[in-house]
Amino acid sequence: MTSYVSVWVGRPGDPPRHAQDPDRLHGAASTMKVAVLAALYRTGGLDDPVPVVNDFASALGDGSRYHNDRSYDDDDEVWPHLGTAVPARWLARRMIVRSSNLATNLLLARVGLPAVAEVWRLAGAAHSVTARGIEDYAARDAGLDNVVTAADLAALFTALHRGTLAEPEACAEMLDLLAAQEWRVDLAAGLPDGVRIAHKNGWMTGVRHSAGLVTPPDAEPYVIAVCTTSRGVPPDDYDEQACRRIAEISADAWAGRAG
């Protein structure tokens, strides 16, 4: 596989035990949803109703609007609720466990981009930016893009583990939600069955990332973040190859978990 691969593996709060190009910028894909989740918990009102619409203000700030494409969304559960209102907590679950784009934009509109930027800052992220909603293509084309690094994703999960992004009970609840992730084809695929991993992955054409907190029964927890971006691999072939590569890295980290 020909790609840019960035890796960060280590104990929460410690220097990495293994790092490979950890500060390289990658398109964020859905990994930015973890920062949106933390911003929601910091803002509060998780049981408040949120109107379900498919119409959002562009990050350009010029009055333009954008919409989500249902066929591009990996979760179909939110769409039947258009025109109604649902609890923010339910949207958060759809955003994480099935990576709903519509739920993400609804929550991002609720908390605001500055609140998400504050999460990255509090986590100690050096380079990652959430500058727009998902499918805000006009903003993307104007240079407002969502980017992450493996090191920053590791810092985000470290902050959740240490309970510093919100109240400790709220951070524990977020990790439980991330442990319920249903897309388990990359990092989780490299672990034995039953091992707890609180994680979020993200993918788009030519991109596959995954980051999370692994809790072995026989060793201290560790954080792992892997970001991959294609360098010329045909899009139809890339995602499967990237999933295998991330699973291999995850298996290697598991094998060295006591070290």
Ordered by where they begin, the domains of the chain are: 3-255 (3.40.710.10)
pLDDT for 142-182, tens place per residue? 999 999 999 999 999 999 999 999 999 999 999 999 999 99
pLDDT score for 1: 56
Residues of the chain with pLDDT under 70: 1-2, 235
pLDDT score for 52: 98
pLDDT score for 171: 98
CB 111 within 8 A of CB 136: no
pLDDT score for 226: 98
pLDDT score for 232: 75
Q: How many CA atoms lie within 13 A of 117 on its CB side?
A: 8
3-class state of residue 109 by DSSP: helix
- Predicted TM-score of the model (pTM): 0.97
- Distance in angstroms (rounded) separating the CA atoms of residues 51 and 49: 7
Q: Is 134 exposed, middle or buried (0-12, 13-18, 19+ CB in 10 A)?
A: buried
